[in-house]
Chain A
Amino acid sequence: MKGQNISLRQARYHLSIYLFLLPCALFIGMFAYYPAVNGIYHSFFQWNGGDVDRFHGAQSYSKLFLADTEFWLAFKNALILGIANIFKMAPSIVTAVCLHRVRNARLQFVYRVAFVVPMVIPILVTTYLWKAIYDPSNGALNTILQSTGLMKALVWISSSAAHLSENFDPLGFFSWLGALFRAGENPAWLGTPSLAMLALILRDFPWVGTFGVLVYLAVLQSIPRDIYEAAEVDGAGWLSKFRYIELPMILRQVRIMMILVIMGSINDAGLVMAMFGIEGGPGGVVQVPALFMYREAFQNQNLGYACAIGVVMFAVILICTKLNDWLVKPGD
Chain B
Amino acid sequence: MKPVESRPTGFWRRISERFNSQRNANGNGAPADDGQRRVNRIAVALVAGTFLWSLSHVLLRQRIDETAHPVLSLAHWQLEPGIRTGMETMARRYNAMRRSRGLPEVIFKQYPISEKAYGQWVTTQLIGGTAPDLIEMGIGLPAATWVNYRGRYFVPLTQEIMRPNPYNAGTPLENVPWKETFLDGLGNPISELQEYYDIGLSAFGQRIFFNQALLKKLTAKLASEGKIPAALDEPPGDLRAFLKLCDQIMELKDERGRNYMSLAGSKYQMGFMVKQIIDPLTMELLDKVDLNHSADASSEETFFAARMGRLKFSDPQVLRIAAIWKEIAKRFQPGWNGLDRNDAVQLFVRQQCLFFATGSWDASTLKVQAESSETPFPVGIAKFPVISPNDPEWGEFGWGPTYEKPATAFPFGIPSQSNNRELALDFLRFITTRENNQILNDEIEWIPVIKGAEPKPLLRAFQPTFEGMYRGWNLELGSRTKTFTDQIEPLMEIGEDDKGRSFTILDWAEHMDTEWVDAAARDFEKRDEDERDGLQTKNALAAVLRAKMLLAAPENRDFHTRHYFGYASVPLEANKNIALWQAWLRETAPAKKGAQP
Query: What is the interface of chain A, defined by CB distance below 8 A to chain B?
Result: 10, 13, 16-17, 50-52, 131, 134-138, 172, 175-176, 178-180, 185-194, 196-197, 276-285, 295, 298-302
Contacts and interface: CB of A to CB of B under 8 A. Distances in A.
B500 A191 contact: no
Nearest to A158: B500
Given A193-B496, A194-B496, 10 more contacts: A137-B334, A137-B347, A138-B346, A175-B501, A189-B335, A191-B334, A191-B494, A277-B486, A282-B491, A301-B142
Given A188-B338, A189-B335, A191-B338, A196 B498 contact: yes
B487 A136 contact: no
B526 A282 contact: no
A280 B484 CA distance: 11
Contacts of A301: 142, 144, 479, 526
B11 A16 contact: yes
Given A135-B343, A301-B144, A279 B500 contact: no
Given A137-B261, A194-B500, A284 B487 contact: yes
B486 A279 contact: yes
B3 A135 contact: no
A193 B494 contact: yes
Contacts of B267: 277
5 contacts: A134-B338, A136-B333, A191-B338, A194-B496, A281-B338
A290 to B, nearest CB: 15
Nearest to B145: A50
B510 to A, nearest CB: 14
B420 interface: no
Interface residues of B, number: 42
Given A191-B337, A191-B339, A279 B483 contact: yes
Interface in B222-280: 261, 267
Contacts of A131: 340
Given A188-B334, A191-B339, A300-B526, A279 B487 contact: yes
B483 A191 contact: no
A303 B352 CA distance: 45
Contact of B533 (A51, A180, A276): A51
Interface of B: 3, 11, 14-15, 18, 142, 144, 148, 261, 267, 333-340, 343, 346-347, 352, 478-480, 482-483, 486-488, 490-491, 494, 496-501, 526, 529, 533
Contact of A16 (B14, B337, B346): B14
Contacts of B479: 295, 299-301
Contact of A283 (B15, B482, B490): B490
Contacts of B482: 299
A144 B107 CA distance: 55
Contacts of A185: 334
A300 to B, nearest CB: 5
6 residue pairs, one from A and one from B, having the closest CB atoms:
A179-B500, A188-B335, A190-B338, A191-B338, A136-B335, A282-B490
Contact of B500 (A13, A178, A280, A281): A178
A172 B499 contact: yes
Contacts of A136: 333-335, 338
Contacts of B480: 300
A254 to B, nearest CB: 32
Contacts of A10: 3
A187 B488 CA distance: 20
A137 B333 contact: yes
B263 to A, nearest CB: 13
Nearest to A172: B499
A186 B258 CA distance: 12
A248 B334 CA distance: 49
A50 B148 contact: yes
A16 B15 contact: yes
B499 A135 contact: no
- Which of A136, A137, A190 lies at the interface centre, i.e. has the most chain B CB atoms within 10 A of its CB? A137
A190 B267 CA distance: 12
A188 B333 CA distance: 10
A175 B498 CA distance: 11
Contacts of A186: 334-335
A16 B14 CA distance: 9
A283 B274 CA distance: 18
B290 to A, nearest CB: 27
Contacts of A192: 335, 338, 494, 496
A171 to B, nearest CB: 10
A224 to B, nearest CB: 23
Contacts of A277: 267, 486
- Which of A51, A175, A193, A277 lies at the interface centre, i.e. has the most chain B CB atoms within 10 A of its CB? A193
A277 B339 CA distance: 10
Contacts of B487: 279-284
A284 B14 CA distance: 62
A204 to B, nearest CB: 18
Contacts of A52: 529, 533
Contacts of A276: 338
Contacts of B335: 135-137, 186-192
Contacts of A179: 496, 499-501
Nearest to A50: B148
Contact of B3 (A13, A16, A176, A280): A13
Nearest to A279: B486
B499 A278 contact: no
B483 A176 contact: no
Contacts of A278: 483, 486
A271 to B, nearest CB: 15
Nearest to A296: B479
A147 to B, nearest CB: 13
B507 to A, nearest CB: 11
- Which of A191, A281, A298 lies at the interface centre, i.e. has the most chain B CB atoms within 10 A of its CB? A191
A16 B339 contact: no
A186 B500 CA distance: 15
A51 B480 CA distance: 21
A282 B234 CA distance: 33
Contacts of B529: 52
Contacts of A295: 479, 483
Nearest to B266: A191
A283 B334 contact: no
- Which of B148, B483, B496 lies at the interface centre, i.e. has the most chain A CB atoms within 10 A of its CB? B483
A3 B18 CA distance: 19
A284 B339 CA distance: 15
Contacts of B337: 188, 191, 282
B497 to A, nearest CB: 6
Contacts of B142: 298-299, 301
Nearest to B483: A279
Contacts of A50: 148
Nearest to A19: B15
A273 to B, nearest CB: 12
B498 A283 contact: yes
Contacts of B333: 136-137
Contacts of A134: 338
A277 B480 CA distance: 15
A283 B488 contact: yes
Nearest to A278: B483
Contacts of B346: 138
Nearest to B502: A179
Contact of A193 (B261, B478, B491): B491
A41 to B, nearest CB: 21
Contact of B352 (A137, A191, A193, A302): A137
B532 to A, nearest CB: 10
Contact of B338 (A13, A178, A189, A194): A189
Nearest to A186: B334
A17 B14 CA distance: 11
Nearest to A280: B487
A136 B491 CA distance: 18
Contacts of A137: 261, 333-335, 347, 352
A35 to B, nearest CB: 18
Nearest to B4: A13
Nearest to B14: A16
A236 B274 CA distance: 68
